[in-house]
Each structure stands twice: as structure tokens, then as C-alpha cells.
Amino acid sequence: MEPIKRVPLVHQVEERIKDLIKEEKLQPGTKLPTEKELCTNLNVSRGTVREAFRFLQAKGIVELKTGKGAFVAEKKGRKTISCHQLACS
């Protein structure tokens, strides 16, 4: 029997946002829910949502635009993730 893995909350939020993009088949450039909406829907703090967005931005999955929100990144950005980055996520 394997022990239960404890996944940090920020990584759980990151996965939920990725699931939203996949399940809704959101196209590049599509605006994602606001930080406030995600905080309410996922029952997490704004800091947790912001950190999850930063992780997703670093992986090329979302694009953050100051004052405008978070958007699904262009596919070209998603292809630049190295094997090392994937192994660390």
C-alpha cells in the first residue's frame, strides 16, 4: 500500500486551471476566470491563485496581462517547455 501523497494547494489549483482549459477546450487568447472568481469557486486565497497563474505562465500555458487578466497562451509558447521543466512540475 502506497502512502497518500500530499499535494500543495497551489499545485492543486494549477491542475484545476489546466483541467478547465482542457475540458472547456479553450482556445489560445481566451480569457480565463478572474482571480476573485477562482478564489470563490475553489475556496482558496488570492495569493494561491496568483502563484498558480505564475507557475502556469512559466510553463507557457497562460499569459498574464497586467490590468486585463489571465489568458490561454498561444500554442507556440506551450511547445517551448523543456523535458527538465516537465520533470520538475
Identify the pLDDT of residue 40.
97
Q: For residue 78, count CB atoms less than 10 angstroms from its CB and return exposed for 0-12, middle for 13-18, buried for 19 or more.
A: middle
Domains assigned to the chain:
9-88 (1.10.10.10)
Question: Cell triple for residue 49?
Answer: 491563485
pLDDT tens for the 89 residues of the chain, in order: 888 888 999 999 999 999 999 999 999 999 999 999 999 999 999 999 999 999 999 999 999 999 999 999 997 644 445 555 555 55
Identify the pLDDT of residue 12.
96
What sign results for the dihedral spanned by CA atoms 4, 14, 79, 33? positive
Identify the pLDDT of residue 2.
81
Name the pTM for this structure.
0.78
- Please, what is the Cα angle at 88 between 87 and 89, to 5 degrees? 95
Residue 19's region, left for phi above 0, alpha for psi from -120 to 50, else beta, is: alpha
